[in-house]
A and B are shown apart, each in its own frame.
Chain A
């Protein structure tokens, strides 16, 4: 489904701020997998997602989605097969436009946009039916400006938008990190349901270990631009936060000693 072959990404090359965010990362995702990506700040997990989405171009390596090499395909063209939800609730929607207008924009993802009316009455009915199960009362406020909604509401709406036209791959970039715990739980629950119902292949970045363990079918841990842990299947379902912490300490220790070996 998604094949990432040895991609490397370095920011600010040639300056004092040079930072290699991804080092030779390879990853292969099967259709229908729900992968949670965990890692600390600066571990490269968001960069990985942004490289897949085409926000950043990679320095080396290739990215293949569904047998098509998209390494040099621009962000807006890749969007045809990708659904994305961002960390910042403000980023996924257009604040000055109505709920229905935002949904209508999302419904046409990957299609040629012409001079047809931007939204039809038939769509409105569909939006109402899709918004109802969110349980946020948005179905009666179709023309409300999105800017008036709360962060959680906006994030739930963005989720719906990203899957309105079924994507080949859903990218969730710490999409609950900016929400309060209760809202975050609701949004995660909605994410789970949407992924399950549509059988979506999903890549979810999080820095919450519990979320990473409780959701998805496979877990990846990143550290300093590399994938250091890849757990799936039964092993994943038995995983506890303590296990994960222990694994993380072990990886960090190994890295640390190897660094020291290099220096001495």
Chain B
């Protein structure tokens, strides 16, 4: 039991990095960016390739981050300069990345078993691998939350936040909204790729298919975080995302433990997200229905 929860928490911390990336586009910039399905694999691919050719895993993760940033830049340029709708720009980059990822890896799957990863340092100290992942994940997430809290409080960060809110006003205040959107997409996809690099090392392989459905997992984590731990203050909101990602993993672990076939997982996640996204709407129309019924009774 403890093992299941520990596994879920460690995995959740790695996915939290990705969740923060999704939050930046989905909530702060107000675009649903599908690039992440490709950039998470790109990160895994770059790290796996580097590590398997003997490079330092930390450098591998750093390069993964840079690769993800490049992917975000492409989507950003497609969207802002060529005026392709955000959703479609993301899809185009995602599809293109599938080929890019195969090129990076040279094959569909790279195994990282018995290779030196970012977790090796801690397992060498005698930690069980699941706790090594937890420590690394926690360090990454804590650092990121602090850095992003600072960044979104700066002048540039404020204009990025305002862009997602009201681009017209931001332009009237002399900010080029093309740039703020591009910066947001770059940071977001860098984080997603970094998350991919960390996940690949913890699961022991990178696979060209591993990104499928990742955007939905990211959204599910964002929403769970907001619903369960949501707070108004920005720092707490960032931490709520981390808790959301972990909670999602714990839920999934339990559902699997209860005997749901692993193949149904994506269906389960998609339905959960659909329900969560439509809840405010359903609630509103339910209240409306109750109100009209009450009034009808009064008239009668």
Contact = CB atoms under 8 A, between A and B. Distances in A.
B159 A115 contact: no
B155 A114 contact: yes
Interface stretch (B8-16, B72-80, B164-172): B164-172
Interface residues of A, number: 36
Nearest to B152: A118
B272 interface: no
For the residues of B in contact with A, the DSSP-based class is helix
Interface string B163-205: 0011011111111110000000000000000000000000000
A38 interface: no
Contact of B158 (A53, A101, A109, A110): A101
Contact of A105 (B151, B154, B162, B176): B162
B166 A94 contact: yes
A109 B173 contact: yes
Given A96-B165, A97-B165, A118 B155 contact: yes
A109 B169 CA distance: 11
A106 B170 CA distance: 9
A94 B165 contact: yes
A86 B175 CA distance: 17
A93 B169 CA distance: 6
A185 B177 CA distance: 34
A102 B158 CA distance: 9
Contacts of A108: 155, 173-174
Contacts of B166: 90-91, 93-95
Nearest to B232: A145
A75 interface: yes
Interface stretch (A76-84, A219-227, A252-260): A76-84
B67 to A, nearest CB: 24
Interface in A29-72: 53
Contacts of A105: 158-159, 162, 170, 173, 175
B240 to A, nearest CB: 16
A220 B181 CA distance: 39
A152 interface: no
A77 B174 contact: yes
Nearest to A54: B171
Contacts of B169: 91-94
Nearest to A80: B174
Contact of A76 (B151, B157, B158, B177): B177
B161 interface: yes
B113 interface: no
Contacts of A115: 151, 154-156
Nearest to B155: A113
B154 A116 contact: yes
Contacts of A93: 166, 169
B160 to A, nearest CB: 10
Contacts of A53: 172
B85 interface: no
A118 B153 contact: yes
Contacts of A76: 171, 174-177
Interface in A136-165: 161-162
Contacts of A94: 161-162, 165-166, 169-170
B159 A113 contact: yes
Contacts of B173: 79, 105-106, 108-109, 161
Contact of A91 (B157, B168, B175): B168
21 contacts: A74-B176, A79-B171, A84-B172, A86-B168, A93-B169, A94-B162, A96-B165, A97-B162, A102-B162, A105-B159, A105-B170, A106-B173, A108-B155, A108-B173, A113-B159, A114-B155, A117-B153, A118-B154, A118-B155, A118-B157, A161-B173
Q: Which 10 A-B pairs have the closest CB atoms?
A: A79-B174, A113-B155, A118-B158, A94-B165, A94-B162, A109-B174, A110-B174, A84-B172, A76-B171, A115-B154
Interface of A: 53, 74-77, 79-80, 82, 84, 86, 90-97, 101-102, 104-106, 108-111, 113-119, 161-162
Given A77-B174, A86-B168, 4 more contacts: A76-B176, A92-B172, A113-B155, A118-B158
